[in-house]
Amino acid sequence: MPLILIKGTFSIKGTAPDGDSVRFIPKNPALWRKLENRVRANRLGGVQLRLDAIDALETHFQARVGAFGTQRQPEEFGNKAAAHLLDLLGFDSKTIRRGPKEIVQDAAPNTVNGYILTRFADIYGRAIAFAFAGDLDESDGASVFVTEDLLKQSANYQLVAEGLLYPTFYSKLYIDLRKALAAATESARSAGLGLWTKDVTNRGFELESLKTIIEEAVILPKLFRRLLSYLAINDDSVDLSGFIDYLNSNDDRVLVLPEGKITGFDNLIEVNGQTLRLTEKPEDLVFIEK
């Protein structure tokens, strides 16, 4: 399970880090060329990271069309995940002051040293990575075999283990890493940690208004994003009668691990009137990269 080691600094001032995304500036920007896909870097070589295998409750999401503007999921666990990620990386979340759109205006410190393990970028130019505080006793740019012990040191794993966000697996994630993260998810759920005390993704919930998903129902962020995007074009209605067709149009393909089959995300959502639920546990799904 080799990944590319890139050393550098995490930087937050002027950015809007959340529970699964943060800015990273490498010591050697040329190392980005080792990734399978091209990253979108700034003048310093800084790139927005998308932390692999995890999905935090949205703190500032805007549907691509429609007039909803920027929305968020219920505050508690999105805020906790965002703060704890930064603490895990070496920041002090108590000093962070945010302004409009969750942009960090001040923090002490506003940069910290760390490293990432990565091998590709997504279609938006974000490096998909495991993020770590401190240093690793390997040369910058080295190919590093990721053991379970090393994985457990990552911010990604620790956030899952504490139940502060959801697992969301994609097909390029190594199987052994996925299994370890799935086990951490199951342990957190069984222990009633974090958001698992309020999660209604599989149990289901009744959609009464936009308020339901932005203030009340704690659900898988991918489902939230699809649902909000549907509502944004639904002519001020929360009627779910067209939601499955909308999901089908997105063509999200998913491997359902217990059944060993690939299907559409729309086939995993059950709608009954204004009640909906995901029929499979999040850790039992592997989304196919587009």
CATH number where 74 lies: 2.40.50.90
**What average pLDDT score do residues 73-85 get?**
98
In terms of domains, do 203 and 278 share one? Answer: yes
Is 181 a domain residue?
A: no
Residue 169 has pLDDT above 80, yes or no: yes
Is 183 a domain residue?
A: no
Q: Which one of 155, 171, 187 terminates a domain? A: 171
Q: What pLDDT score does 223 carry?
A: 99
Could you give the percent of the chain with pLDDT greater than 90? 96
Count CB atoms within 10 A of the CB of residue 171: 13
Domain span at 35? 2-171
pLDDT in tens, 171-214: 999 999 999 999 999 999 999 999 999 999 999 999 999 999 99
Q: Which one of 171, 187, 205 terminates a domain? A: 171
pLDDT in tens, 62-75: 998 987 889 999 99
Q: Which of 10-24, 57-71, 195-209, 266-280 has the lowest mean pLDDT?
A: 57-71
Structural domains of the chain, count: 2
**Which among 20, 102, 67, 59 has a CA at the least distance from the CA of 229?**
67
Cα separation, 118 vs 142, whole angstroms: 11
Cβ 49 vs Cβ 35: under 8 Å: no
In terms of domains, do 29 and 74 share one? Answer: yes
102: left (phi over 0), alpha (psi -120 to 50) or beta: left
In terms of domains, do 210 and 256 share one? Answer: yes
In terms of domains, do 78 and 159 share one? Answer: yes
Cα separation, 254 vs 275, whole angstroms: 22
In terms of domains, do 18 and 121 share one? Answer: yes
Is 151 a domain residue?
A: yes
Helix (H) or strand (E) holding 232: helix 221-232
In terms of domains, do 136 and 218 share one? Answer: no
Predicted TM-score (pTM) of this structure: 0.97
